[in-house]
Amino acid sequence: MKLTLRIWRQKGRDGKGRMVTYTLDDVSPDMSFLEMLDVLNERLILSGEEPVAFDHDCREGICGMCGMVINGVAHGPERATTTCQLHMRHFSDGDTIDIEPWRSAAFPVIKDLVVDRSAFDSIIQAGGFITAPTGAAPEAHATPVPKPDADAAFEAATCIGCGACVAACPNGSGMLFTAAKITHLGLLPQGQPERYSRVVDMIDAHDEAGFGGCTNIGECTAVCPKGIPLETISHLNRDYLSATAGGKHPE
């Protein structure tokens, strides 16, 4: 395939970015999207040009590092698919593809397609953990967990923190990520002692990091590569209201 790539190029945080056009011939439909960018970078290096900077790590759809906006959609056109698992057979010969970084005040551009996602780390540091001492590992059936709760907790725990939800949200909200981290702990027995202090601390960290507010538009779930449901935000809202409106707390 022959493709025209329009890629966001920005030298640094304070630099003024712009879309730069490249033409790439002989793209195999079997290439992944990142392999296609690797080929482009090899040609740029051989011609003495600066390669395009982009994040990647496992390339197996697990780590969430490969985030970029492709033709206006976070991670590209395929649902429940990370950029590294997106293959060029989903595009057609002669296509023009726009490639941009995540767009959010909380995710400043470092270079080209690389953004600083450390704001997510600040949310986790505020309460995405369990500190209550639980002693040795109990026997598996000693503390029954209702299956619906276990299933919902596991579903929320599949969040890989890629930031697609933020890039897709018109408000630049990180609420789906925050809700996933709060929900998977708040549904389990081990997470109950800190359940309500956790939600307050993590929401405060979310807001302080510069993320926008959630207005339940749902674009976040549409692009989430792990299919985190919008209901996790409802769970977060219930816990937050209980923590701040005088509801019954487990502490």
CA separation for the pair 188, 152 (Å, rounded): 10
CB 169 within 8 A of CB 209: no
Check for a shared fold between 3-110 and 118-132+144-244: no
Return the pLDDT at 120. 98
> Which tens digit of pLDDT belongs to each residue from 139-179?
877 888 999 999 999 999 999 999 999 999 999 999 999 99
**Residue 101: CB partners within 8 Å, gap ≥ 6?**
8, 10, 68, 69, 107, 109, 112, 113, 114, 115
CATH level 3 topology of 3-110: Ubiquitin-like (UB roll) (3.10.20)
> Which tens digit of pLDDT belongs to each residue from 225-242?
999 999 999 999 999 999
Domain 118-132+144-244: give its CATH code: 1.10.1060.10
Answer yes or no: is pLDDT of 202 > 90: yes
Beta bridge partners of 18: 9
Return the pLDDT at 248. 53
The domains of the chain are located at 3-110, 118-132+144-244
Return the pLDDT at 136. 80
Q: Which two tokens stand for residue 130?
A: 């369990």
Return the pLDDT at 247. 53
Return the pLDDT at 141. 78
Neighbours of 53 (CB within 10 A): 16
Answer yes or no: is pLDDT of 246 > 90: no
